[in-house]
Amino acid sequence: MGKQAVTIVDVAKAAGVSPSTVSHALSGKREISRPVKERIFEKIRELDYRPSFYAQAMKSNSTGMIGVVVNECRNPGTSLFIDSLAAELEKYSYKIVVGLAGLNHRKGAELLRHFSAGLVDGVFNLLPQITPEEAQVLCGSTPVVTNIRDRSIPIRLDYDKLTWTILHYLRDLGHRRIGYISSPTRDPRRPDSEATRQIMAEFLQKYGEEFDPRLVVEGDDSIEGGVSGTEQIMNHGDVTAIFAGNDQTAFGIYRWAYLNGVQIPDDLSVIGFDDVPQAATLIPPMTTVRFPVQEIVAHTVKLLIAKLRNETLPPGQISLEMPLVIRNSVADRNPCSRKSWNKTISGKQISTLNPRERTSTERSMTCQ
């Protein structure tokens, strides 16, 4: 058996003061003479007194903690998001406690129930498998915000437009056989691979070309998934470019290329998604999509703080851009393509046009 925990009463007896004086010395809410305070803290060190977290929470009616339920932390994009979340909550004197559920629905539900049973003041649901409505039921009276999908003020991220932009960018650079490795967590509203297949088929149809569905494979947000996904895609013809559902998967494409003696970007071009810090340090630095982490975190925390304070925010929807960050992992296979990509029509840059409106315009462009 472990030794019995030291209480505030034990510290008070050892210091020759009342328990309330020890409490005031710890909280700083009431002035205590310097000699008395020094004596109290000396006894605290001698006795190795640790204030009870639960006693303090009951007294203040607040734990000062926010629960974050997420599928995993191995992905650098997820780690960056959690770090940013912790930093933003620190502004409101909150700390975070993280629960990992994977993509297991039952485990995620258990964590949400567990956190909302008095362990934390509020909860962030980052699990794609649990809807905002279900998260609210599981958390009961504990305030909860489901990332991006919260019904009060949802965030709109246009993944369809992004896919069109990437496909146009690659085609402008001379790429015709393009593969994609999906992410099971990127867009919780619908299956990523299914949506991408549909867009790629529509994109190629506008050029009178047939879509090969084998060039879109299921990923699992891991480097290993990127390696195996690339192997599957490269078995189906002369593929010159692959884009991925996140940077972690794209790192796997780099690894496959290294293991197979394939040069990036000369033999195979790569585009990631997230723009984690590691993307810029690869050789060559990786072209990727910048996920608006800071904007989403600021909005998400604002929603939860409003719920914790019983404040009502005006309803609406926030739309955020996901810009393509061009580095050195995509080869230019067409000498005049970069001029095409940067051309403007009626003062509008090509990359900002509605993707479905661009094809006929681009066909009429010639090298200058």
Q: 163 and 219 share a domain?
A: yes
Q: 286 and 353 share a domain?
A: yes
Query: Over 60: is that where the pLDDT of 252 sits?
Result: yes
Q: 196 and 279 share a domain?
A: yes
- Using the structure block, give the residue that is written with the tokens 């339920």: 69
Give pLDDT tens digits for 195-249.
999 999 999 999 999 999 999 999 999 999 999 999 999 999 899 999 999 999 9
pTM of the complete model beyond 0.95:
no
More confident residue, 74 or 66: 66
Query: Over 70: is that where the pLDDT of 178 sits?
Result: yes
Is position 248 within any domain? yes
Compute the mean pLDDT over every residue in the chain, rounded to the nearest whole number. 85
Phi, psi of 103 (to 5 degrees): -105, 20
Q: Once rounded to an integer, what is the mean pLDDT over residues 250-278?
A: 96
Lowest mean pLDDT among 16-25, 27-36, 174-183, 341-350: 341-350
Q: How far apart are CA 362 and CA 220, in angstroms?
A: 35
On the CB side of 164, how many CA atoms lie within 13 Å of its CA? 19
Which of 175, 287, 193 minimizes the C-alpha distance to 237? 175
Q: 46 and 66 share a domain?
A: no
pLDDT at 11: 84
Q: 172 and 208 share a domain?
A: yes
Which two tokens mark 331? Answer: 């080869």
Is position 2 within any domain? no
Q: 135 and 146 share a domain?
A: yes
Q: 315 and 326 share a domain?
A: no
Q: Which helix (H) or strand (E) holds 300?
A: helix 293-308
pLDDT at 24: 81
Is position 57 within any domain? no
Structural domain containing residue 194 = 157-290+322-363
Q: Once rounded to an integer, what is the mean pLDDT over residues 100-113?
A: 92
Q: Once rounded to an integer, what is the mean pLDDT over residues 160-177?
A: 96
pLDDT at 100: 93
Mark residue 343 as left, alpha or beta (left: phi above 0; alpha: psi -120 to 50; beta: remaining): beta
Q: 298 and 260 share a domain?
A: no
pLDDT band at 187 (very low <50, low <70, confident <90, very high): confident
Q: 127 and 172 share a domain?
A: no
Task: Domain count for the chain, please give it.
Answer: 3
Query: Over 80: is that where the pLDDT of 49 sits?
Result: no
Query: Over 80: is that where the pLDDT of 71 sits?
Result: yes
Query: Over 50: is that where the pLDDT of 335 sits?
Result: yes
Is position 215 within any domain? yes
Q: 212 and 69 share a domain?
A: no
